[in-house]
Structure 1
Amino acid sequence: MRAHVELIHEDDYIFHTGELPSGEGKILERRLSTDEEDGSSSLSLHAIGDWGRSAGIAHADTEFYVVEGTMIYGGQELGPGGYVQVPRGTAMDWVRFREGARILHWREYGDCGFDPYTNVAEASAKAAPESGEGVSVIDANRMEWTEAQSVGPLTPLYIKLLHRDPKTGFYTRLIRARKGWTDHRLAHHPCYEEFYTLGGKMAYNFGDIDEGTYCFRPAGVKHGHFIAETDIDWIIRSDGELTNWYTTDEWVKWGGHAENYEHHHAPVISTLPVRSRSRGEWSGDGM
């Protein structure tokens, strides 16, 4: 249960005190999207002072991606492009954000609950035996861009795969579109898709996409008409195997006889996405 967000710029969100139990220091968060049924959240963390937390066990699948500044995980220093993924119930080492850091943080299939331990060895002794494949720690800058499969988008996209769950197909990856990348078709998927824009600009049927623009799109929502005005990079997540189903020559039957109101007071389609004012007016194209 998450709202269709398309598009909101991060700067249009308000700050909350960071909901990161057992941590010490100064951290704020912007809640990009949340699921109030199971606690799943997509957050932008801003360290307004040094912040840290001991080793322990998180109650949700947990991910961190460094946008600016420095994160230290278990003694390993990670700058922009640093990524950590910890499956739910798995022991995670201590983590620290230095003042000024900006970190994207995701919790999936669980809330912010966290059981602290003195060190990672103690946490490992308490971890669930079925806790999964272990912790991934990646510096994306050391990875090569690979061309995406040609089936799907009309012109090449490039990816860096950060994490993929072998059972569910859930993945997190970086995607790059070169200037001039385009696709005029409308696509929808059998899984959800969310992205945060790391840099660049794209014209899009839901509005302009630029650095800091966020989207959460539930399964089945059509989207498309892309034109990359510059090279553009995103971090993208989906909760299953992403298959592109395309619609062309699209049409929508919508309307009725207005008995006691003028046309400009007509009702809106109930599935309009959540958008922020800075994204400007939207024609409804793509719905």
Structure 2
Amino acid sequence: MRDHIDFIQAQYLDWQAAERIGYPDARLKLLSEDYETGAVSTILTLPEHWERPAGAQPFDEEIYILDGTLTIEAMVYTAHCYAFLPAGYDANAIATRHGVTLLYFRSEPIEEGLRTDQAKIEARLVRQFDVSAGQWDGDFDKFGLGSMKAGARMRVLRQDPFSGETTYITATIAFRRGEQAERHPIAQEFFMLSGELAGPLGTMQAGAYCIRPPMAKHAPYGSPTGALILFRGFGGSQETFWEDTDPFTFYPEHRPILPDHLKPLGKRYPPQSRY
């Protein structure tokens, strides 16, 4: 079970030792954690010349590069590159020569049938996805988000062939605004990679993080600048249920939903000065 966080700016979170997740001599910012299963979502920074040998893990790992360069086996990953390393996958040696900062997501332990069957491991693997290359070709209608098509684009990074769990990126144009609230029957988290996003609970800047339980009401959202956001759903395939709500405003009151231990960090983050 994870805390409901909607939303916090990662800039206010402290760096801590990453040895707790098996990454010695590295640091992390803990975005959220499932206290029952050990699943975590973090910002992870690895120092220069850091490396991890290959070896199958009992959990899935998702990686999205924010800054720097990483290698997984012989493949090079730079900013805005993504990988999904499924449980049981053993070609997963990690190294960085000059240091790297990334979003790092780890699942709960995966059932044996998925992590020991080589065909299933290969079916779930996303070896590399470079968001800076290719076209914005994701299908909003597939996820019940068709009303966003006029003001946004999507790229699906992965969709699990067995669970339907999906990780994707959306990019919205400036002054795109929503009209209705949303609910999803799965848990969903997102991280703001760039831009600014206004919603019912305040205005999020780059670095904002949010995680909601199934069927939590959220939106409508709008962006005066445009925004780039990574979404990650777990617990099944994503559907969207729409409902009428209060009218959207670009100037919302700041009132995030946070667990008690994060409430002192729930202050508004100022936008970067333009002059």
Closer, same or farther in 2 for the Cα pair 1:207/1:97, shift >3 Å? farther
Secondary structure of 1:88's partner?
Answer: coil
Match of 1:193 among 188, 197, 207: 188
Letter in 2 for 1:245: F
Letter in 2 for 1:142: A
C-alpha distance after superposition, 1:187-216 (max 9, x if no partner): 111011111111001111111111111001
Matches within 5 A, 1:68-87: 68-87=67-86
Partner of 2:170: 175
CA distance in 2, matches of 1:208, 1:180: 14
Instruction: Indicate whether 1:13 and 2:13 are aligned.
Output: yes
Aligned structure 1 segments of 4 or more residues deviating by more than 4 angstroms: none
**Contact 2:124 2:160 survives alignment (8 Å):** no
TM-score normalised according to structure 1 size: 0.78
Percent identity, please.
22
Give the Cα separation in 1 of the matches to 2:40 and 2:173. 30
Pick closer, same or farther for the CA change 1:190–1:244 going to 2, 3 Å: same
Shift in Å, 1:18:
1.0
Which of 140, 146, 159 is the equivalent residue of 2:137?
146
Query: 1:185 deviation in Å?
Result: 1.2
Task: Name the amino acid aligned to 1:158.
Answer: R
How far the C-alpha of 1:7 sits from its partner, in A, is 0.7
User: 2:6–2:257: 8 Å Cα contact kept in structure 1?
Assistant: no
Give per-residue Cα distances to partners, 1:70-122, cap 9 Å, x unaligned.
111111111101111111122232111344421100011239xxxxxxxxxxx
Q: One-letter code of the match for 1:145?
A: W
1:225 partner letter: P
Counterpart CA distance in 1 for 2:129 and 2:40 is: 21
Question: Which of 257, 267, 271 is 1:278 aligned to?
Answer: 267
What is the CA–CA distance in structure 2 between the aligned matches of 1:56 and 1:14, rounded to whole Å?
30
Partner AA of 1:128 in structure 2:
T
How far the C-alpha of 1:37 sits from its partner, in A, is 0.6
The answer to whether 1:128 aligns with 2:116 is yes
User: Structure 1 counterpart of 2:9, which letter?
Assistant: H
Q: Per-residue CA shift, 1:17-60, capped at 9, x if unaligned?
A: 11343x56x31011100001111110101224432101111121
Residues 227 and 272 (structure 1), Cα distance of their counterparts in 2 relative to 1, 3 Å cut = closer
Residue matched to 1:285: none
Do the aligned partners of residues 71 and 174 (structure 1) sit closer, same or farther apart at CA in structure 2, a change above 3 Å counting?
A: same
**Structure 2 length-normalised TM:** 0.81
Distance 1:72 1:128 in 2: 25
SS at match of 2:3: coil
Residues 171, 237 of structure 1: 8 Å contact kept: yes
**Pair 1:273–1:221, CA change in 2 (3 A):** farther
Map of 1:246 onto structure 2: 242
| C-alpha deviation, 1:10, in angstroms | 0.8
1:129 Cα offset (Å): 2.5
Aligned alpha-carbon RMSD (Å): 2.3
Q: Is the 8 Å Cα contact of residues 61 and 107 (structure 1) preserved in structure 2?
A: yes
Residue 215 of structure 1 corresponds to which residue in structure 2? Answer: 210
| Whole-angstrom distance in 1 between the partners of 2:8 and 2:65 | 20
Q: How many residues are paired up?
A: 243
Question: Unaligned regions of 5+ residues in structure 1, if any?
Answer: 112-126, 251-270, 281-287
Residues 98 and 110 (structure 1), Cα distance of their counterparts in 2 relative to 1, 3 Å cut: farther
SS at match of 1:142: coil
Paired position in structure 2 for 1:205: 200
Q: In 1, Cα distance between the equivalents of 2:109 and 2:98?
A: 27
Q: 1:36 to 1:158 in 2, by over 3 A?
A: same
**CA distance in 1 between partners of 2:88 and 2:160 (Å):** 15
Q: Distance in 2 between matches of 1:246 and 1:57?
A: 41
